[in-house]
Amino acid sequence: MRVRTMLVGAVALAAVQVAGTSLQAHTQSPKFKENVEVSGLTHHGLGELTVAFSGPVSLPGVSLPAGKYIFRQPGSNIVQVADMNGQPYRMFLTIPTVRNRAEDGYSFVLGPGPHADSPRRILAMFRPGETTGQQFIYPAR
């Protein structure tokens, strides 16, 4: 079981790295002509981030229209997304992932949607100055 978990983690890490490097090639899907811009602001709460998306994005099992959202990390390998009133949309399980170099601010890795007419997926998020982040787990189809 441990070997299988390690193998799944290695495959997931490779997928994020490939998605990150191929992200420049897939900057937008055909239906959504605009690039999705992400801006954020940290709150005083530990692990809480307000994020504004200029276009629609998706997370496992949910699509979010353009707008502002609160991302919270209530525990390790868990991310909760809420609206600006604090009403939770959903909690997501994540796995640790690694990138080559740290960035100054929060970073979101976006990938193409599962279909040509789908919003871009949020693949992973990283805290400022960190090379280890949280990768969202999407079901295999």
Query: Could you tell me the two tokens for 132?
Result: 């280890």
Q: What is the pLDDT of residue 18?
A: 37
Q: What is the pLDDT of residue 16?
A: 38
The answer to whether residue 141 is domain-embedded is no
Q: What is the pLDDT of residue 75?
A: 87
Number of domains forming the structure of the chain? 1
* Phi and psi angles of residue 7, each rounded to the nearest 5 degrees, phi first: -65, -45
The list of the chain residues with pLDDT below 70 reads: 1-46, 141
Q: What is the pLDDT of residue 128?
A: 87
The answer to whether residue 46 is domain-embedded is yes
Query: Each residue of 60-84: pLDDT tens digit?
Result: 999 999 999 999 998 889 999 999 9
Q: What is the pLDDT of residue 38?
A: 64
Query: Could you tell me the two tokens for 141?
Result: 């189809």
Q: Give residue 89's domain range.
A: 2-136
Q: What is the pLDDT of residue 12?
A: 39
- Give the C-alpha separation, 2 to 102, whole Å: 29
**pTM: predicted TM-score of the whole model, two decimal places:** 0.69
Q: What is the pLDDT of residue 5?
A: 38
The answer to whether residue 31 is domain-embedded is yes
Q: What is the pLDDT of residue 35?
A: 56
Bridge-based pairing state of the strands 120-126 and 57-59: parallel
The answer to whether residue 14 is domain-embedded is yes
The answer to whether residue 32 is domain-embedded is yes
